[in-house]
Amino acid sequence: MNKVKFIYNPYSGEKTIVYNIENVIRIHQKYGYQIIPFRVSFEFDMKEAFKDIDKSYKYILVAGGDGTVDTAVNHMKRLNINIPIAILPVGTANDFAKFIGMSENIEEACEQIVNSIPKKLDLGKVNDKYFINVASTGLFTDVSQKTDVNLKNTIGKLAYYVKGLEQLTNLRKLKVRVKSENAVFDGNMYLMLIFNGQTAGNLKFAYKAEIDDGLLDIIIIKAGMIKDTIALFIKMLRGDHLENTSGLLYFKSNKIEIYCDEGIVTDIDGERGPDFPLMVECIKGGLEVLGIQEKL
């Protein structure tokens, strides 16, 4: 029987996966797969889940949000584990899973996975860390890191916005230098988003992003008048197209360099990212994923 390593975070989202473990096992068993579970906790680091991975394992099944999936991918890359990954979106933020078309219904998602073939997708990398969805720096980038875990588990996505609103009255211009083949920026900004996916907090900012084009989508919100910046944020929240928008730079690139001396943090899929300078690249076909919708 083919093995599947099942890594799940029981605290993700509203603990949906805890009530669906039976369904995960039942559906996989129906298709001839043996589920080998690993429960992520404070006592056991996720890297322990990969110690027994060998040729008998067909794929890694991860139940959690973007941060849980991101951690699993980084462990896989460090350990040179090159088998497909599949995602059950049960976290507070499931942007990447939604981008690739995963059902939020656990049973449907399992069926979707076991009846699919692996597809090679792009993977982002910042210095020595990988990211599946978005890397960021500037305003809001430490929101997920500073948001209380209990608050996130209690009110979900709203917790991020509550924390983010606290920062709107504290806008600070940040001096950065960005270099790539397709664009150069040397000036003040409020926020930079680097997308491998399309959305952040379920808001589709990188609407031109594709999952396998070998390019990252970069959005820089330039520093300016507060009223103009707020108007720009409103436009982004509405999902308006951003071409030729004053105060914003949107471009694609496979490699970019970012320099900043402001002492600000970076964020990778909701977790603390590397310190500056940042060497960012898109690894074309860097990750094999199951369950992809055919439209992609």
**CB–CB of 1/56 below 8 Å?**
no
Alpha helices, DSSP H only, in 83-191? Answer: 95-99, 106-114, 143-146, 149-155, 158-165
* Best-predicted range by mean pLDDT (6-20, 64-78, 137-151): 64-78
Q: Where in the sequence of the chain do the CATH 3.40.50.10330 domains occur?
A: 2-116
Comparing 103 with 1, the larger pLDDT belongs to 103
CA angle at 22 for the pair 17 and 26, rounded to the nearest 5°: 125
Widest Cα–Cα separation across the chain: 62
CB atoms within 10 A of CB 273: 20
Residue 287, strand partner residues: 121
Residue range 248-273, pLDDT digits in tens: 899 999 999 999 999 889 999 988 99
Helix or strand holding residue 233 (H, E): helix 226-237
Q: Tokens 């001839």 belong to which residue?
A: 32
The verdict on domain 2-116 having CATH code 3.40.50.10330 is: yes
For residue 154, name the pLDDT band (cuts at 50, 70, 90): very low
Tokens standing for 285?
A: 């076909």
Distance separating alpha carbons of residues 3 and 275, to the nearest angstrom: 38
Q: What is the pLDDT of residue 1?
A: 75
- What pLDDT score was predicted for residue 271? 87
Q: Is the pLDDT of residue 167 over 80?
A: no
| Span between the terminal Cα atoms of the chain, in Å | 30
**SS3 call for 230:** helix
Judge if pTM exceeds 0.85: yes
pLDDT at 148: 53
Averaged pLDDT, 12-33: 93
- pLDDT band of residue 13 (cuts 50, 70, 90) is confident
Give residue 169's pLDDT band: very low, low, confident or very high (50, 70, 90). Answer: low
Identify the CATH class of 129-284: mainly beta
* Percent of the chain predicted with pLDDT > 90: 65
Amino acid making up residue 73: V
- List, for residues 38-76, the tens digit of each pLDDT value: 999 888 889 999 999 999 999 999 999 999 999 999 999
Q: Is the predicted pLDDT of residue 220 greater than 60, yes or no?
A: yes
Give tens-digit pLDDT for 188-202.
Answer: 998 899 999 999 878
Please provide residue 15's backbone torsions phi and psi, each rounded to the nearest 5 degrees: 60, 30
Output the CA angle 201-127-44, nearest 5 degrees.
70
The per-residue pLDDT for 216 is 98
